Amino acid sequence: MIECPFCIAEIDDDALACRHCTRDLTNQVYILRKVADLQRAVADLTSRLAAADSLATTAPPKIEPERSAPKGTAIAVDVADLAGLALGPTALLIGAHYLFALHLGLHPVALLFATLLIPLPFGFLAIARTKRGLIYWGAAFLIASFVSVIVMGVSTYWSVRLSAEFVPGMEAFMSPLPQTKAGWLQDFHYALSVFFSFTTGMLLAVLYLRARLPDHPKNAFLKSNFAFIGRSLVTVLSPPTIERLSRYATSVTTIATTGGAIYFGIGKL
């Protein structure tokens, strides 16, 4: 059906005259047919667009599943991180002990500075460059600290045993491990000094991520670590103390661990 251009009444597509107003449509019928075709095409496109919009608003978004790394690859990455960031500083600490204390015979203050400085960058990199958090690396560095101190004592024992100044019979007065409570306590304090230096590096990385990379995805993970540690401290500290510490928790803890590293390191002198 088309519309008469004179009376706007609907007439047949093939009509040559309007049956309502009796006007001759011979010259207009071709144009009227094209207009009718265009109107039908527009109506069809409009309905299709409406249908497409309704599907876009009702269909759930397609979420691609996350592709996690193969288990073997994740384990290999963890082993590589542990080897580089935990065993690496352990070897450097033992080497510094041998070089400064046994080979060069430097003042113990030189070894104290090495003890404070060597673990710092490794603690920083462990948090800033890996996917693991404070609890994981804290446990790894705690083990590395005690292993370092024990191996230092063993290396001192064998260095003396193999030296030219060793006199037969001196082994009765020597031992690779402490033989008294005071000796074990001294080594314990020394290991704490190394561990606190690692911890200071980790906390400096936390402060760096918060200040320079606030949108870094690891910030949320580290926040959950602090929440776990905070819940553990509830049974030890009073609520007012926790409230005061929570305001500047990371900065206060960084200062405290630095002081602890220095204090327990001096105890070894």
> How many angstroms separate the CA atoms of 218 and 151, rounded?
34
Predicted pLDDT of residue 156? 81
pTM above 0.85, yes or no: no
Q: What is the DSSP string of 196-256?
A: HHHHHHHHHHHHHHHHH-TT-THHHHHHHHHHHHHHHHTTTS-HHHHHHHHHTHHHHHHHH
Average pLDDT of the residues in 98-107: 78
Residue 269 has pLDDT above 60, yes or no: no
What are the angstrom distances between the C-alpha of 246 and each of 118, 136, 234, 241?
29, 22, 12, 9
> Is residue 138 over pLDDT 50?
yes
**pLDDT of 141:** 92
- pLDDT over 60 at 248, yes or no: no
pLDDT score of 143: 92
Mean pLDDT of 111-136: 85
Q: pLDDT at position 267, please?
A: 56
Name the band, by pLDDT with cuts 50, 70 and 90, for residue 170. Answer: low
Q: What is the mean pLDDT of residues 85-102?
A: 86
pLDDT tens for residues 62-86? 545 545 556 556 677 778 888 888 8
pLDDT for 103:
77
